[in-house]
């Protein structure tokens, strides 16, 4: 009788490195990243930029940090970012964006698959008015763990690991959608 093997795909935080991955980490060339002297980080950033068709990339230590960096690069203090009401950045990132960036997260309801209604999204974008915060970013997360792992698109700040499935599902070329993104965050363990 064969033993059932469980593969846990809930999150990249439960992914454990394989022996080959541990060996690669142990044999990696390292240096001081603060001074731009870590050849492995530099190579990883170059590979990521090339993969995503972008001029440059930056390696950060976590997905939460990637979301924070992406949003703070688009939003100033007092601005707002529109997010799904079930978004990871809203529920599971310790309030980092509002606390560290003074950025309001304005919500639009997600459907059961994490998608946002485009009419509701358009309605949520604030008009130019001195009494309102400026809508500076729209964050459409993929792999909503609160919405069954469904796919969604990305505008303004790019988050998520299921973008390629979104592109395939809607018949949009990968190059077209990623050219439209200002920021793209991908986890190291994501497939190209």
CB 176 within 8 A of CB 163: no
Output the pTM of the full model.
0.70
Q: Is the pLDDT assigned to residue 162 strictly greater than 90? A: no
- Using a CB cutoff of 8 Å and minimum separation of 24, what contacts does 148-151 make? 148/112, 148/113, 148/114, 149/114, 150/112, 150/113, 150/114, 150/115, 151/113, 151/114, 151/115
- As a whole number of angstroms, the distance between CA 135 and CA 104 comes to 9
Q: Is residue 102 classed exposed, middle or buried when 0-12, 13-18 and 19+ CB atoms within 10 A define those classes?
A: middle
Q: Is the pLDDT assigned to residue 185 strictly greater than 70? A: no
Least confident span in 3-12, 36-45, 52-61, 101-110 = 3-12
**If you write DSSP's letter for every residue of 131-187 in order, what string do you get?**
TS--EEEEE--SS-TTTTT------SEE--S-HHHHHHHHT--HHHHHHH-SEE---
Q: Residue 143's pLDDT is what?
A: 58
Q: Residue 146's pLDDT is what?
A: 77
What average pLDDT does the structure give for the chain?
A: 77
The tens digit of pLDDT for each residue in 6-43 reads 766 666 667 778 899 899 989 999 999 888 899 999 99
Q: Is the pLDDT assigned to residue 179 strictly greater than 60? A: yes
Q: Residue 181's pLDDT is what?
A: 60
Domains defined for the chain, CATH in brackets: 12-184 (3.40.640.10)
**Per-residue CA distances from 25 to 30, 44, 190 (Å):** 10, 13, 17
Using 50, 70 and 90 to split pLDDT, how confident is the model at 61? confident
């Amino acid at each position: 009788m064969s033993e059932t093997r469980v593969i846990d795909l809930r999150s990249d935080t439960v992914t454990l490195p394989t022996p080959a991955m541990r060996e690669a980490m142990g044999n990696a060339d390292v240096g001081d990243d603060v001074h731009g002297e870590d050849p492995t980080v530099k190579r990883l950033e170059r590979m990521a930029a090339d993969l995503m068709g972008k001029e440059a990339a930056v390696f950060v230590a976590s997905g939460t940090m990637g979301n924070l960096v992406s949003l703070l690069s688009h939003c100033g203090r007092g601005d707002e970012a529109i997010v799904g009401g079930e978004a990871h950045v809203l529920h599971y990132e310790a309030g980092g964006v509002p606390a560290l960036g003074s950025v309001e997260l304005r919500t639009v309801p997600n459907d059961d698959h994490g998608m946002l209604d485009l009419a509701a999204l358009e309605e949520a974008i604030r008009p130019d008015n001195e009494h309102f915060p400026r809508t500076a970013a729209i964050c459409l997360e993929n792999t909503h763990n609160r919405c069954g792992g469904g796919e969604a698109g990305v505008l303004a700040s790019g988050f998520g690991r299921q973008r390629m499935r979104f592109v395939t599902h809607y018949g949009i070329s990968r190059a077209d959608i990623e050219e439209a993104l200002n920021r793209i965050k991908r986890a190291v363990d994501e497939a190209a």
